[in-house]
């Protein structure tokens, strides 16, 4: 199913919309004449390659201003969803830290802001709700 169109305010409809990385690129990078977005998307593509190689990665949810019509988003917000059987206390290969460590991801891919949670967890629901709450209930302008 294709990504639904943005509403008049430049947001996707409420919900999680499944798509390939190519479909995401078509909607949120290619249709903009923005080198800023293209540069940020290169970080995302490189991170995706590493995440795909990590067998405990289940899904990546992209949200924030990059998934809107904003021509110059500050970063790309990601939720890395790990398989429910992932044992955080088990030793990791060094290369896996570059996938699940928010600090290491931010150091290598400066455009990415990552949150890591297990599938089916309360934290996953909390992050999804928080992203949607910001989008649909913005803070009032106090100026």
Is residue 107 helix, strand or coil? helix
Q: Can you name the residues that pair with 52 across neighbouring β-strands?
A: none
How many Å apart are CA 118 and CA 136, to the nearest integer? 25
Question: Residue 134's pLDDT is what?
Answer: 59
How many Å apart are CA 115 and CA 99, to the nearest integer? 11
pLDDT tens sequence across 78-135:
999 999 999 888 888 888 989 999 999 999 999 999 999 999 999 999 999 888 775 5
Question: Residue 136's pLDDT is what?
Answer: 54
Is 141 a residue whose pLDDT tops 90?
no
**Contacts (Cβ under 8 Å, ≥6 apart) of 6:** 12, 68, 69
This prediction's pTM: 0.87
Question: Residue 135's pLDDT is what?
Answer: 56
How many Å apart are CA 112 and CA 45, to the nearest integer? 11
For residues 34 and 71, the answer to whether their CB atoms sit within 8 Å is: yes
Question: Residue 9's closest CA among 88, 65, 93, 56?
Answer: 65
For residues 38 and 29, the answer to whether their CB atoms sit within 8 Å is: yes
User: Residue 137: which pLDDT band, with cuts at 50, 70 and 90?
Assistant: very low
pLDDT tens sequence across 32-67:
888 999 999 999 999 999 999 999 999 999 998 999
Where b means 16+ CB within 10 Å and e means fewer, 91-119 reads: eeeeebebbbeeeebeeebebbbbbbbbe
């Amino acid at each position: 199913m294709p990504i639904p169109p943005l509403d008049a305010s430049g947001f996707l409809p409420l919900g999680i919309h499944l798509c390939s990385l190519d479909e995401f690129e078509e909607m949120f990078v290619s249709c903009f004449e923005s080198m800023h977005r293209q540069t940020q998307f290169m970080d995302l593509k490189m991170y995706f390659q590493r995440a795909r190689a990590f067998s405990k990665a289940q899904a990546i949810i992209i949200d924030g201003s990059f998934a809107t019509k904003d021509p110059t988003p500050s970063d790309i917000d990601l939720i890395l969803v790990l398989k429910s059987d992932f044992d955080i206390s088990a030793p990791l290969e060094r290369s896996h830290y570059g996938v699940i460590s928010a600090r290491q991801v931010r150091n290598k891919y400066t455009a990415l802001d990552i949150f890591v949670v297990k599938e089916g967890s309360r934290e996953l629901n909390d992050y999804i709700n928080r992203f949607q709450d910001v989008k649909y209930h913005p803070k009032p302008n106090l100026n």
